[in-house]
Amino acid sequence: MTYPRNDNPIYADDPNAIPKLEAKIARLEAQRNRIIEVNAGFRKHRIDLLKIAPADWNSRLEPLNLNPDEIEYIKGSVRVIRFGRGYAPFHITNLTSNIKRQRKRLSGLRKRLDGLKLPAFAT
Number of alpha carbons in the 13 Å side-chain half-sphere of residue 94: 8
Burial class (CB in 10 A: 0-12, 13-18, 19+), 36: middle
Query: What is the chain's pLDDT, residue by residue, as a tens digit (123 residues)?
Result: 555 566 688 888 888 999 999 999 999 999 999 999 999 999 998 988 888 888 888 888 998 999 999 989 898 888 788 888 889 999 999 999 999 999 999 999 999 888 766 555 555
pTM: 0.80
Closest CA to 87 of 103, 104, 69: 69
Distance CA 21, CA 28 (A): 10
